[in-house]
Structure 1
Amino acid sequence: MDVVSDAIAAVRIGRPSSDRVSVSGSWCARFAPYDGAGFHVVLEGSCWLLPDGGGPPISLAAGDAVLLPHGTGHVIADSPVDAAAAARAVPFELPRGAAVPDATEAPGAPAPGGVEMLCGKYRLDRSRVHPLMLELPKVVHLPNRIGSHPELRWAIALLGGELGQQRPGACLAVPSLLDLLLVYMVRSWMAEGSGGAWSAVLGDPVAAAALRALHSDPAAPWTNERLAAEAGVSRATLARRFTALVGRPPMAYLTWWRLTYAATLLRDTPDPLASIARRVGYGTPYAFSHAFGREFGTTPGRYRAGEAKAS
């Protein structure tokens, strides 16, 4: 696994929910804050988005994608939105428990001057968010510009095609495309050059090489010397550059990532404690449980039971 894949996989839970929406005339809808990430893709027409917390309204055109990675509440309307208009917005809620396959029922085309959008949410576990995900701004706007982010454009086109027709296999294709959409939106944001520290981290050959090694095999008996050799630099150079860019020393990051990965395994798999301990580099379940308790303030068993109850 690479860092971006791991950062997304660690927080994403369940299946995304989505709905295809056609609106025309004069309209203004509020999307409430959400403990996850919201997204919109404009398939036809245009509209405006105003996030809670201030800032100018954002113009969205056909082909634009917007990700709200921290679940920020916002208003979408047919025209530029000010505070007075936002206060009059009609609440918009996806049907409770709506699943991706429901969205394959294609509605009619929007009336002239209207807009058709794909609106949805990703469920996220905020208890162990990777710093790369924390760095995302409250609104990631990815305009549809010729030649920019072709993979994202292809994913949007494929998704629009699947949602426009009830074709065999759509119940598998749509959620897979939505997962792909999330990856491409994060990747496109990083490629825009507007990313923060983690764009610099993954662009640094020393830090990136060390992170690839740690994420590829977190259970390996890593030491600073071995990791420095993997990155092709001295131990002092690795420690200096890694700590400056990542914000913590290599071995401290490794410990954090091992336990974060273990929490994901506890949530997503039925594997016994001893197996998970080995997969994340701990020789015994006792040593793993002790380290896990320091990080999460609970035992692995109680953590797993809590996650199962929450889901």
Structure 2
Amino acid sequence: MDVLSDVVASLRSGRPFANREDRQGTWHTPFAPFAGAGFHIVLSGSCRLLTQDGAPLTLSVGDVVLTPHGTQHALEDLGHTDADGFTALLCGAYRLDRSQSHPLLATLPEVIHLRSQFGRHRSLHAAVSLLGSELQDPQQGSVAALSTLLDLLLLYILRAWLDDEADRGASGWSAALADPAVSTALSAMHEDPAHPWTVEELGRKANLSRATFARRFTQLVGQSPLAYLTWWRLGAAARLLKESDTSLERIAAQVGYGSQYAFANAFKRAHGISPGRYRRHHADDRHPTQWHPETGLTA
């Protein structure tokens, strides 16, 4: 599995939520802070996004906004700059498991604003179009379609942001995923966490010397290769504990630990709780209900 797919899988908890919102005249819709990520898409008209710390952002048709940290914000009219003062929005939210959040999430800004640009991010705008159609005209299978499209939307937003950051020559995770050597090593660890990886072997996969690889990986990812591998293994184990009845012994083997005892000790150091207690604590997560944050999404 590639890194970005794993990032999205590790972030989400429960079902995402989306709704079409039509506004006209003078309006102001606040969105309280919450433990998730929110998004807004302008289907028609225009509006303004307000945050506590940043300058107001003017949003136009086709613009996409993601608030990956659930930051408090608001949307409001521009003072009837359109002929009829009508604005149609697609608003929604994802519930995120912050305890399992990937380091990439921490590098995201408070607000991601992707402007509508002809020829840019075609997959994202295709997903937006399909999502809008399903919400405007629900049919048989729409519940399944919406869930899939919302997952795609989150993936495409993150991919578009990473691409834009790489084009601007940014460092960090956008540079890490764009770097062939580091990306190859990351993919290898994600694809086979049970393998007894060494820095030297990962360096060979990346076609770099051990020292050069370790230095480049740490600089871009923010962790050493083996520290990241440990984090990834224990994060994968946490998801298996929450989502399956797989035995602790088998989970230990799947994520690269030679014994259940070694796995339990490593897991407790990372999560502050034993694997068994972690599983019992998250037993209800296997049957998530429709999540509707009290953020004014259906004001």
TM-score (norm 2): 0.89
Distance (Å, rounded) in 2 between the aligned partners of 1:175 and 1:266: 23
- How many angstroms apart in 1 are the aligned matches of 2:196 and 2:87? 55
8 Å contact from structure 1 (residues 47, 76) kept in 2: yes
- Return the letter of the residue paired with 2:256: G
2:291 corresponds to which residue? none
Q: 1:299 aligns with which of 271, 274, 296?
A: 274
> Do structure 1's residue 147 and structure 2's residue 103 form an aligned pair?
no
**1:25-70: per-residue Cα shift (whole Å, max 9, x none)?**
1011110001010111111211111012x21111111211100000
Counterpart pick for 1:131 among 103, 110, 127: 103
CA contact (8 A) 2:20 2:136 kept: no
Alpha carbons 1:135, 1:196 under 8 Å: kept: no
With 115-124 and 194-203 compared, the bigger mean Cα shift is at: 194-203
Match of 1:247 among 222, 235, 244: 222
1:73, CA displacement in angstroms? 0.7
Give the CA deviation at 1:130: 1.2
**Greater shift in the superposed pair: 111-120 or 58-67:** 111-120
C-alpha distance in 2, partners of 1:172/1:77? Answer: 31
Separation (CA, whole Å) in 2 of partners of 1:60 and 1:306: 42
Q: Counterpart of 2:43?
A: 43
1:26 aligned partner? 26
The partner residue of 1:213 within 188, 199, 222 is 188
The letter for the 2-side match of 1:44 is S
Match of 2:144 among 161, 169, 172: 172
> Following the alignment from structure 2 to structure 1, what is the Cα–Cα distance between the partners of residues 61 and 147?
22
Q: Distance in 1 between matches of 2:210 and 2:235?
A: 25
Structure 1 residues 239 and 257: alpha-carbon distance in aligned structure 2, compared to 1, 3 A threshold: same
Partner of 2:251, secondary structure, is helix
SS in 1 for 2:15: strand
User: 2:11 & 2:129 partners in 1: Cα distance?
Assistant: 26
- Amino acid in the other structure paired with 1:77: E
Q: CA deviation at 1:188?
A: 0.5
Instruction: Indicate whether 1:68 and 2:43 are aligned.
Output: no
Render the CA deviation track for 1:109-159: whole Å, top value 9, x for unaligned.
Answer: xx9321111111101011122111111100001111111111111111111
Displacement, 1:232?
Answer: 1.6
TM-aligned CA deviation for residue 309 of structure 1: 4.5
Question: CA RMSD for the aligned pairs?
Answer: 1.6
Q: 1:2 offset after TM fit, Å?
A: 1.3
CA contact (8 A) 2:20 2:132 kept: no
Cross-structure match for 1:79: 78
Instruction: State how far apart, in whole Å, the 1-side matches of 2:276 and 2:46 are.
Output: 49
Question: What SS does the corresponding residue of 1:189 show, helix, strand or coil?
Answer: helix
Residue matched to 1:157 = 129
Query: Equivalent residue for 2:252?
Result: 277
Number of equivalent positions: 280
* Aligned equivalents of 1:128, 1:167: Cα separation in 2: 35
Q: TM-score, length-normalised on structure 1?
A: 0.86
> How far has the Cα of 1:292 moved from its partner?
0.2
Unaligned runs of 5+ in 1: 81-110
1:234 is matched with which residue? 209
Structure 2: give runs of 5+ residues left out of the alignment.
Answer: 289-299
Shift of 1:7: 1.5
Q: Aligned equivalents of 1:268 and 1:23: distance in 2? A: 40
SS in 2 for 1:270: coil
Partners in 2 of 1:267 and 1:11 — Cα distance? 13
Please, which of 139, 143, 155 is the counterpart of residue 183 of structure 1? 155
1:204 counterpart residue number: 179
Partners of 2:51 and 2:250 in 1: CA distance: 44
Shift of 1:196: 4.3
TM-fit CA distance, 1:270 = 2.3
CA-CA distance at 1:246 after TM superposition? 1.6
Residue 14 of structure 1 aligns to a residue whose secondary structure is coil
Identity across matched positions, percent: 51
